[in-house]
Structure 1
Amino acid sequence: MQTNKNNFFYRNGLSLVVLGLFTLFLFCQLITGWHVKNNELSEVKLPSLTLIQYILSPHFMQATFENWESEFLQMCMYVLLTVSLRQKGSAESKSLTEKEDVDKEPEAHKNAPWPVKKGGFILSVYKHSLSVSLGILFLLSFTFHFIGSLNNYNEEQIQKHLAKLDWKDYIVNSQFWFESFQNWQSEFLAVASLVILSIWFREKGSPQSKPVDAPYDEN
Structure 2
Amino acid sequence: MRTFLRENALTLFFGGLLLLALVGQSVAGLAQHNGQQVADGQEAISYAQYLLSSDFATDVAENWQSEFLQFFLYVLATVWFVQKGSSESKKPGHGGRGTDEEQRVGVHAGPRSPAWARAGGWRLRVCSSSLGLTMGTIFLLCWLAQSVAGRASYNAEQLSAYEDPVSWAGYVTSADFWSRTLQNWQSEFLAVAAMAALSIFLRQRGSPESKPVGAPHDATGDDA
TM-score (norm 2): 0.91
CA drift at 1:98? 5.3
For residue 214 of structure 2, give the secondary structure of its aligned residue in structure 1.
coil
* C-alpha distance in structure 2 between counterparts of 1:99 and 1:32, whole Å: 45
Counterpart residue type for residue 83 of structure 2: Q
Give deviations 1:96-120, integer Å, cap 9, x for gaps: 14589x7341133221111113322
* Partner of residue 98 from structure 2, selected from 93, 98, 103: 103
Number of residue equivalences: 214
Counterpart residue type for residue 45 of structure 2: L
* Partner of residue 43 from structure 2, selected from 28, 42, 47: 47
Give deviations 1:114-166, integer Å, cap 9, x for gaps: 11133221111110000000000000000000011111011111221221111
* Partner of residue 75 from structure 1, selected from 71, 81, 96: 71
Moved over 3 A (4+): 97-100
Counterpart residue type for residue 157 of structure 2: E
Q: What does 1:36-185 correspond to in 2, within 5 Å?
A: 36-97=32-93, 103-105=98-100, 106=105, 107-185=108-186
Q: 2:187 matched to which residue of 1?
A: 186
Structure 1 contact 42–48 (Cα < 8 Å) conserved:
yes
Structure 1 contact 44–159 (Cα < 8 Å) conserved:
no
CA drift at 1:49? 1.1
CA drift at 1:94? 0.3
Farther off after superposition, 67-76 or 114-123: 114-123
Q: 1:197 matched to which residue of 2?
A: 198
Q: 2:27 matched to which residue of 1?
A: 31
Farther off after superposition, 113-122 or 201-210: 113-122
Structure 1 contact 115–122 (Cα < 8 Å) conserved:
yes
Counterpart residue type for residue 60 of structure 2: T
* C-alpha distance in structure 2 between counterparts of 1:46 and 1:119, whole Å: 62
Farther off after superposition, 136-145 or 91-100: 91-100
* C-alpha distance in structure 2 between counterparts of 1:158 and 1:22, whole Å: 34
Structure-2 change in CA distance of 1:120 and 1:191 (3 Å): same
TM-score (norm 1): 0.93
